[in-house]
Structure 1
Amino acid sequence: MAPFDVLASLAMDIYLPVVPAMPAIMGTSPPVIQLTLSLYMVMLGVGQVVFGPISIRIGRRPVLLAGAVLFAAASLGAASSSTAAPFVIFRLLQAVGASAALVATFATVRDVYADRPEGVVIYGLFSSMLAFVPAVGPVAGALITNNFGWRAIFIVLAALSVPAILNAAFRWHETRPAGQAVVRRSVLPIFASLQFWTYTLAFSAAMGTFFVFFSTAPRVLIDRAGYSELRFSIAFATVAAVMIVITRFAKAFVARWGIAGSVARGMALLLCGAVLLGLGQILGSPSFGSFILPMWVMAVGIVLTASVTANGALAGFDDIAGSAVAFYFCIQSLVVGTAGTLAVTVLNGDSAWPLIGYAAAMAMLVSAGLPLIRSRSHSRGR
């Protein structure tokens, strides 16, 4: 299962070093190239709602294999593109394939390990692997581009898919429980829950901050600060490294502060990072100190928040857990893809302002919702 988990994330991160060059290569504008990031992010979340029911009806194995083959084919299609329209379409198809493979992967974990302790271990391993992808992906992308050109990035993604597909074709057995049927229960309680919305928006604030960061970082550091693609990738990797280190201590922080306390501190750190970015934007030119170091502060807030929001958002929905999880990821991806892209497009994507605007606005929105959750909990307690 691991290769599909890694490839879905790698397809986003390995491509970052060449993003500033793609408008000239494809003869288009930066906002169009931004779609290749935004649509990928949105599709990964929307696929939770689309491919989950399909995997229940026809099985995990066909969804996984079809998705993986589509991912490989779309990667080759992207590599062969010379204009913007087919490139954007192939990136979207690549995301569709990655989303299908991810849904089948995690459904398989639930099928096999739902009542076994190994399930927690596997989810932990997946999370650890994904934490390293943003650290190594851009560096790999820069090295590949410098030696073989940008098309080689997508050829490598397709090539890495082949052994994963062959391995799965022979060794991945169907795990859908026999006779499983679609049980229809109302999902209205999910959308009526203030707690669900507050913590889902908190997750959107955290993941969206990172999304806007990697959407703007190539243009800020390569185009404006004059970083080489490799130097940019190393600077980017330091943010991922901070997140990896903080993840090691997240459990202790959560045990001490609880879900609401961790989210409140996470939002405070996002606001603090936004203030530091604003000062750097006003007082100096783009640099490691004015752009990357404030992002270290935000990275701590991202980890604190993302560590607990699922537990907060999904609490009380055990009877419709599958639907709640799907909507949790779907809404997050839509918020991030829409609001994040709007921020990058409207607030000058080659500056820190999109990151400042998105992080500050979302952090303040979530911070306003947390007291409402506490007041409702106290009211019920009486």
Structure 2
Amino acid sequence: MPIQQPRLWTYSLPVARALLAPFNLLASLGMDIYLPVVPSMPGILGTTPGVIQLTLTLYMIVLGVGQLLFGPLSDRIGRRPVLMCGALLFAGASFALAWTETAWPFLALRLAQAIGASAMLVALFATIRDVYAERPESTVIYSLMNAMLAFVPALAPIAGALIAGGFGWRGIFVALGLPAVAMLAIALPTWHETRPIQRAGSGGSGFLPILRSPAFWAYTCAFGTAMGTFFVFFSTAPRVLMAGAGMSELQFSLAFATVALAMIVTTRFAKSFVARWGIPGSVARGMILLLVGAAMLLAGQLWLEPSFVAFILPMWLVAVGIVVTTAVTANGALQEFSDVAGTAVALHFCIQSLIVGVVGTVFVLVLDGDTAWPLIGYAAAMAIVTLAAIGGLTRRGKAQR
């Protein structure tokens, strides 16, 4: 695919969101929409539950680690070819999955699907960095993208169950492939190359300059804190609300969806919040909201029975903190690296995924996952670490002035 010269994006914000959001949505759906049929897949494919678990675990790993390949590649050859090839691979793998009969080809195609999703995500967020880094619309774009990453796990399994009920398990993968093809057709004439022209033909400067940046680490930690808090909530909520509070599956789904709704509503106000508080101020306030939410969860854990009031209401406040934080963390982490935005984006998302997956899982396993303790511990501990990192950046900036 020939490399194009960068062109100015002149799309209105609603049009840009309509062009950007589906690729983010598809990459996330590839993981979560498949969950309702996982228990039946060993029988369907004639394999063990362990092999089917690999189709979930490897998808998540490749989605994060694959970005370390596609980030530098997008800096070298451009965002557009990485996006187009990723979408094509994702669509092809999705359709092939729908017609797979045995386990090992199914696993190989899930890996291919994850590789395509990883490429799409890198190209997507590198393009956002190229186009919106110095524009106020960036807060709206980033908060929407990150809110989608959070609420898709809440809604995708419901969609997957409905599709599987009407069309069988194969329909789930067809439902992933069709919109990928549609978006590819839309993006081909509209997704202009945005890679900075000075990067043409360059071999890149590698990961070390990025990893030496205190701002990169502070804001990547903030992103991992926010998204990890939702991950721990996602991991413990079924056990707390269904096993502990006695909610039905429908009641649980509706309660869970209110947290996603709180995030969506907050997204509409993120631009004004950031304009008033700035990047470090927004992160600091987001962390304070996480700490207050953790304190409310602690009160509910100590003095109330598991319930909507004790577990979900504090999460509304936490949801606001998550959105306020994620609206600015990418700009904060990547602002020094406009010429290697793809590489920086890849590191940013890979490291935060490790924070979320490893640290979040440790809290769930070490503390009692049937209670709010993992959520309280993760949100409070990581928010304190992030506040310390942001405070260090602020002091460093004052000393340099």
Report if TM-score (shorter chain) is over 0.5: yes
**Paired position in structure 2 for 1:333:** 353
The DSSP-based 3-state class of the residue aligned with 2:268 is helix
**Paired position in structure 2 for 1:354:** 374
Q: Deviations over 1:110-154 (max 9, x none)?
A: 78x58998xx76995685476466375344234335555666434
Comparing 352-361 and 200-209, the one that deviates more: 352-361
Letter matched to residue 258 of structure 2: T
- Does the CA contact (< 8 Å) of 2:284 and 2:387 recur in 1? yes
Distance 2:42 2:239 in 1: 13
Alignment of 1:163-202 (within 5 A): 163-165=182-184, 171=189, 175=193, 180-185=200-205, 187-202=207-222
Cα 1:289–1:249 change in 2 (3 A) is: same
Distance 1:316 1:185 in 2: 13
Q: What TM-score comes out, normalization by structure 1 length?
A: 0.77
Cα 1:142–1:238 change in 2 (3 A) is: farther
Residue 205, structure 1, aligned to residue 225, structure 2: yes
Q: 2:252 aligns with which of 210, 232, 239?
A: 232
- Does the CA contact (< 8 Å) of 1:204 and 1:336 recur in 2? yes
Residue 140, structure 1, aligned to residue 159, structure 2: yes
Distance 2:331 2:78 in 1: 27
Cα 1:233–1:11 change in 2 (3 A) is: farther
Distance 2:137 2:283 in 1: 24
Q: What TM-score comes out, normalization by structure 2 length?
A: 0.74
The DSSP-based 3-state class of the residue aligned with 1:184 is coil
**Paired position in structure 2 for 1:307:** 327
Residue 250, structure 1, aligned to residue 304, structure 2: no
Same amino acid, percent of matched pairs: 57
Per-residue deviation, 1:294: 1.7
Q: Deviations over 1:299-352 (max 9, x none)?
A: 111112112222332344445444333322221122112222333344344443
Gaps of 5+ in 1: none
Q: 1:50 aligns with which of 54, 58, 69?
A: 69
- Does the CA contact (< 8 Å) of 1:48 and 1:99 recur in 2? yes
Distance 1:338 1:144 in 2: 32
Distance 1:270 1:23 in 2: 38
Alignment of 1:1-382 (within 5 A): 1-2=19-20, 3-15=22-34, 28=49, 33=53, 40-57=59-76, 60=79, 63-75=82-94, 91-106=110-125, 124=140, 128=144, 131=147, 134=152, 136-145=155-164, 147=166, 152-165=171-184, 171=189, 175=193, 180-185=200-205, 187-381=207-401
Q: Deviations over 1:276-311 (max 9, x none)?
A: 223333444433222221211111111121122223
Gaps of 5+ in 2: 1-18
Cα 1:244–1:72 change in 2 (3 A) is: same
Q: Deviations over 1:222-270 (max 9, x none)?
A: 4554444443332222111111111222222223333222222211221
The DSSP-based 3-state class of the residue aligned with 2:269 is helix
Distance 2:282 2:323 in 1: 10
Distance 2:271 2:240 in 1: 34
Per-residue deviation, 1:56: 4.9
| Count of residues in Structure 1 that have an aligned counterpart in Structure 2 | 373
Q: Give the CA RMSD over aligned residues.
A: 4.0
